[in-house]
Structure 1
Amino acid sequence: MKDETQFSPKQDAEAVSVSDMFNNILNEKIKDGAVEKAIEVKVDEFIKRVADDVFSSWGDLSKLMKEKMTEAIMPTAESLGDIPKYHDFVSKRLKLAAQSFYDDKLVEVLDSELKEIMSEVPDVINLSWLVEKIVDVAREDESEGKISLHINKSYSSYWIAIDKESDKSEYQCDFRIGLREDSKTGKLTIFSLKVDGEDCRKSIALGPFYRFEKILYNAYVTNAEFALDKGQFADDYETEWYYD
């Protein structure tokens, strides 16, 4: 609402200079407390502004409090030791999962594998049978030829080396079989087997094995009997084939 109070001059403009008029009005305001009131308002605003600055996140008090709280907390934090990192957590979870697999699944897998192995092991593996199988493999590539066969005896053991290619030395052959002779029964069992240079003793499974290779491997892991059924010399076995 517009103030309708009319202004009535208190001083005679003809008798008082502007400078004196200013001084007179100023003195009157000072006497009425206007200046004090204005200063009080400004002081209140100043105090509030200072308090806001002090308690702000960038203020000195905030910085000091942060510093003091850090000093109080750090010794406790240091006593905690290393806090586990994310990759440590993942590693532990993987180990736990692996252990769970071994505990819950490995027995089932091994039982299934052993069942298959036992079902494919004849009572006796004859060397003539093995030679025949390798000849059959070689015959698929050549219409006629001869495989490599070596039989060596060392004390109570035999070493047999076989390869589908001819003229291979004992240590070049794909198959090398170690046989141990029982002193009481005279029976031979496989105690060492290498296939393509791989030692079967160092693996629970090699392969994939198929056909006679799988049967030979199964005979090895079950300690089956192996017989030199045609004789103790390489010439006792049919290692050659001809075009039919």
Structure 2
Amino acid sequence: MKDEATFSPKQDAEAVSVSDMFNNILNEKIKRGAVEKAIEVKVDEFIKRVADDVFSSWGDLSKLMKEKMTEAIMPTAESLGDIPKYHDFVTKRLRLAAQNFYDNKLVEVLDGELKEIMSEVPDVVNLSWLVEKIVDGAREDKAEGEISLHIDKSYSSYWIGIDKESDKSEYECNFRIGLNEDAKTGKLKIFSLRVDGEDCRKSIALGPFYQFEKILYNAYVTEAEFALDKGEYAGDYNTEWYYD
């Protein structure tokens, strides 16, 4: 390692003031091009910083180049107008499948269900028959007891509530049946049927109903006759059973 050169004063400190000394040194540096050299270095640094900024990812040139390349690579919006969207494609396929079902399968399915309905509709559904069926179902759970039966008349209509449990109010009953009297024939027909709180007008399948429930439902949808064959009062029907 080289030793640093020993500094030798060139000016007599006793003869030259500090101010003159500074001016002399400054003039000497200027004559030797020190200022020009310093400016050149700073200009080089400045140019480099500007170039770095221009070519950086956030620079103006980068933004402009990205915009121009995007325009060149991406197709125009107008050219994309005829490309179908995925959900549009799915929707069209679903519509086609539904139409094929209606055209080829629906008639067959409905004919089968209607044939089944018509084969299980008696000429007349008697209330005593329905009460007996519900008593038989309740007898399987208890050795003796009584079902709930309500018959409420309002003008030419009747509301019937039936439940295999005792002490149920009309509105709490599992079955609630609305009957209308035909003005011409005087016969009663079911205009409303609720099973387990569900309105049968909203049912489009026979699946939920079995045995006598299914027959009752079929009588409703075909407007079959429903008769209060034992009388218009709940006491006219046998709602109790005892241990044999």
Please state which band the TM-score falls in when normalised by the shorter chain. Answer: 0.5 to 0.7
SS in 2 for 1:232: coil
Looking at structure 2, the residues matched to 123 and 110 of structure 1 have their Cα atoms a distance apart, in angstroms, of 22
Q: Which structure 2 segments of 5+ residues have no match?
A: 1-64
Match of 1:115 in 2: 115
Q: CA deviation at 1:204?
A: 1.6
Q: CA deviation at 1:208?
A: 2.2
Looking at structure 2, the residues matched to 127 and 82 of structure 1 have their Cα atoms a distance apart, in angstroms, of 65
1:180 and 1:190 in contact (8 A); partners too: yes
SS in 1 for 2:204: coil
Query: Which AA in structure 1 matches 2:238?
Result: E
1:154-233 mapped onto 2 (5 Å cutoff): 154-205=154-205, 207-233=207-233
SS in 2 for 1:121: coil
Looking at structure 2, the residues matched to 165 and 120 of structure 1 have their Cα atoms a distance apart, in angstroms, of 27
C-alpha spacing 1:217/1:134, structure 2 compared with 1 (3 Å):
same
C-alpha spacing 1:70/1:151, structure 2 compared with 1 (3 Å):
same
TM-score, normalised to structure 1's length? Answer: 0.68
Match of 1:55 in 2: none
Looking at structure 1, the residues matched to 124 and 73 of structure 2 have their Cα atoms a distance apart, in angstroms, of 80
Q: Which structure 1 segments of 5+ residues have no match?
A: 1-62
SS in 2 for 1:96: helix
Worse overlay, 133-142 or 180-189: 180-189
1:200 and 1:206 in contact (8 A); partners too: no
1:69-108 mapped onto 2 (5 Å cutoff): 70=72, 74=76, 77-78=77-78, 81=81, 83-108=83-108
1:146 and 1:165 in contact (8 A); partners too: yes
2:126 and 2:229 in contact (8 A); partners too: yes
TM-score, normalised to structure 2's length? Answer: 0.68
Query: Which AA in structure 2 matches 1:212?
Result: F
Q: CA deviation at 1:80?
A: 5.2
Looking at structure 2, the residues matched to 212 and 68 of structure 1 have their Cα atoms a distance apart, in angstroms, of 72
- Runs of 4+ in structure 1 deviating by more than 4 angstroms, as ranges, are 66-69
Match of 1:236 in 2: 236
**Residue by residue, what CA displacement relative to the aligned partner does 1:55-106 show, whole Å, maximum 9, x if unpaired?**
xxxxxxxx9xx969849962xx426536312232122212211221122111
1:152 and 1:159 in contact (8 A); partners too: yes
Query: Which AA in structure 1 matches 2:191?
Result: F
Query: Which AA in structure 2 matches 1:232?
Result: E
Worse overlay, 173-182 or 202-211: 202-211
2:206 and 2:214 in contact (8 A); partners too: no
Looking at structure 2, the residues matched to 172 and 68 of structure 1 have their Cα atoms a distance apart, in angstroms, of 70
Looking at structure 2, the residues matched to 130 and 241 of structure 1 have their Cα atoms a distance apart, in angstroms, of 15
SS in 2 for 1:167: coil
C-alpha spacing 1:171/1:82, structure 2 compared with 1 (3 Å):
farther
Looking at structure 2, the residues matched to 231 and 111 of structure 1 have their Cα atoms a distance apart, in angstroms, of 37
